[in-house]
Amino acid sequence: MKFEILGTGCRKCKKLFAVVEKVVKDKGLDAELIKVEDINDIAEFGVMKTPALAIDGEIVLVGKVPSAEEVVELIEKR
């Protein structure tokens, strides 16, 4: 599973990364976490508001920092 955290490095982007990282660790997931900070790379996803989260290349969350429980729900929907 691949998680991409899209954001230019702002406080909320860092918080989103931390939340996803905690969920991956707590659930023992075999996952890759990638920070996408280049504005051109973010735009390629069609994202205009950050932070955003992509799971396996699909945008699943834009413009907010979810709770750990919300991240688990997003994973389970996949």
Q: Which of 1, 2, 8, 10 is catalytic?
A: 10
| Mean pLDDT in order along the chain per 10 residues (78 residues) | 96 97 97 96 95 97 97 93
Q: Which of 6, 13, 19, 52 is catalytic?
A: 13
Contacts (Cβ under 8 Å, ≥6 apart) of 55: 1, 2, 3, 4, 74, 75, 78
Domains of the chain: 2-77 (3.40.30.10)
Decide the pairing of beta strands 58-62 and 52-55. Answer: antiparallel
Catalytic site includes residue 38: no
Identify the helix (H) or strand (E) that includes residue 19. Answer: helix 11-27
Catalytic site includes residue 10: yes
Cβ distance 24 to 32 under 8 Å?
no
Q: What is the pLDDT of residue 69?
A: 97
Closest alpha carbon to 13 in 41, 44, 37, 38: 37
Q: What is the pLDDT of residue 8?
A: 92
Q: What is the pLDDT of residue 78?
A: 81
